[in-house]
Amino acid sequence: MTSATNPTTTAPSAPVERSSGVDPRRSRRPGARGGGTYLMLLVPALVLLVGFVLYPIISSVITSFKAGNTGNFVGMDNYRRFFENPDAGAIIGHTFIRGIGGVVPSYLLGMLAAISLHQKLKGRTLIRVLVLVPFVISAPVGLNMWRLLLDPYTGVPAALGFHGGDLLANPDAIWPVLLIINTWASFQFYTIVLLAGLSRIPQELYEAAEADGANRWQRFRHITLPGIGSIGLAACVVHFMASFQEFNLIWILTGGGPLGSTQTLATFAYAKAFSDYDNGYATATTTISMIIMILTLAVGFVLLRLLRPVFRSVRRAIPDLPRRQRPVVVGGGRSRGRRHGPGLLLPSIGALLVLVTSLLPILFIVSRAFDSTPGGLEPVTLIPRQWSLTNFKQVLGNPELYNTGNLVVPPLAVNFLNSVLVSVATTVLVLILGMTAGYALSRWRSPLAKVGIGLVLVLQLVPVIVLVFPLYDLLAKIGLLGTLTGLVLATAALYLPICTLLFKVFFDGMPREVEEAAAIDGAGTIRVLLSIIRPSAKPVIGAVAAYTLINTWNEYLLGTTLISDLNRRTFPAALQQFMSSYSFKAQTTPGMQAVYLLIPIVAAVILLAFTQRHLATAYQGGSVKG
């Protein structure tokens, strides 16, 4: 603009720039300058991560060397105390059972679902949404649903004529039951991830293999498995670490029982911190679990390196396929006599199987909620004996659910609104900080940016059970313990690392020519981000929003630990406290219990309907490049 209106002003400067050898376009390129601006964009996210993740980790490790009650330094005593515990081996063993047992069946069922739903089936989009429903139900809702279904007198076992007692109190049956429940709730993770892997396998490989006479099994073995191998193994490693540190399943259903047969490192540490008030011992236990997790990550990384040649063998696999029964090819490259109908039979059966697996437990709850049989203590049926809205009227008409002064019954309507506020506020905060930090890490060419990337990667791997005890102390010190503000900050810090990485991956894949042109025209870094980058980043913004919203809505551990006031608790924490009380079980019929569970399930389904496409993008990771 200046050179056009006042050429005499710019004429003397041109020779200076040429003589100095500086290209004005190069000097205005994003990343070449503006380090202060990038640092400014990065600082808010770093402050939150350092304050609510890194500091709690350091504090947890330091506390592990102190006595739980006095705070005196005791060195390695807490660690020796754990390993001298006669139950230490069993606790670690149970943790590995939880970790490995959570991966294998979930992966197999998730792979079946992914392969089935990858085919062009009628109603595929609707089926995908319905299969994902258990994945977005909060732990207290889903696990209390299973507790209701496994009731020895009114649940599914009684309906089937099985009278073997409470399966959740049977040490011989408890682990198979827990792992079945876990598979029901987590195989959808593999479905999403493996669908992304299948979409990246060239269809030409299957067509060439089929033309060479390869049957369905051979195509699966030589093309599908190598094609999804790397992404599947990475998903297994991530899921193993999450399962290894998982808290909700064991704590809600068994509390570590019966007779300690399901006690894991996470539940053991939580009990020591909040039942025995021994923070030193508890943090030593979580530190031990974190070290084991790091070692597991190292083993997984080595396996990925060793198996990488196998995953690269897709192209070499085709020539090795048997060349027999070559079909006769006629005009248009189509094989004569090729029939598509029978080819969809197995995928249709697989899709039906995973759909029934996902929805059948929920359908039993729906039936129970609408069944108003007098007494309400008969075994559950798939179809209600007497259709009625009586259970809904009794639950929704209970004035205690809206009463904020009751010390026994939580005001679930208020808790529901609390969850809405916390979820929306956390999602907005993560979007703002994640986008600015992701853009800075993607564009800033500085050693500090590399340090920031490494820090984000490391903090992403920290399990929440390691953070919960020092976060409790930190929020108490700054006066935010028991407040929704403190919960929002802690939850945002928990999900900010992965969301920042999602933004960075997206920005790394964006062409920079438009940014360079805007920079030459005088647009600053922030203006480029807000005016040019943000409108183009709608896919990753939707993915991050869906991921954060779903996970924050379902967050239980932080909600139940950091807030004790029933009026301030979020819905999952309040519902779990309410449904686990003796008075609730004694005074509420199974039909009314089903209503308490069905309402949040409906809310989760509605949330999934609006976010499922973006949620899939978030879990597919690389697909956020758009």
Other residues' Cβ atoms within 10 Å of the Cβ of residue 129: 14
Closest among 616, 595, 158, 190 to 398, alpha carbons compared: 595
Let me know: does 165 contact 87? Beta carbons within 8 Å: no
The maximal CA–CA distance of the chain, rounded, in angstroms, is: 97
Q: Which residue has the tokens 């809600």?
A: 252
Q: Which residue has the tokens 């059970």?
A: 465
% the chain with pLDDT above 90: 42
> Is residue 1's pLDDT more than 60?
no
- Tens digit of each residue's pLDDT (9 = 90 or more) over 208-240: 888 888 888 888 888 888 888 878 878 888 888
pLDDT at residue number 387 = 92
pLDDT at residue number 7 = 38
DSSP state of 328: P
The half-sphere exposure of 46 on its side-chain side, counting CA atoms within 13 A, is 16
Helix/strand/coil (H/E/C) assignment for every residue in 364-406 = HHHHHHHECCCCCCCCCCCCCCCECCHHHHHHHCCHHHHCCCC
* Chain mean pLDDT for the chain: 83
> Is residue 23's pLDDT more than 80?
no
- Distance from the first to the final alpha carbon of the chain: 35
Let me know: does 472 contact 562? Beta carbons within 8 Å: yes
pTM assigned to the model:
0.83
pLDDT at residue number 25 = 44
Fold of 32-63+389-626: MetI-like fold (1.10.3720)
Q: Which residues contact 288 (CB under 8 A, 6 or more apart)?
A: 79, 82, 265
- Tens digit of each residue's pLDDT (9 = 90 or more) over 456-472: 988 887 888 889 999 99
pLDDT at residue number 563 = 95
Closest among 430, 418, 564 to 52, alpha carbons compared: 430
- Tens digit of each residue's pLDDT (9 = 90 or more) over 262-286: 999 999 999 999 888 888 999 999 9
Which range has the worst mean pLDDT, 75-79, 123-127, 446-450, 491-495?
123-127
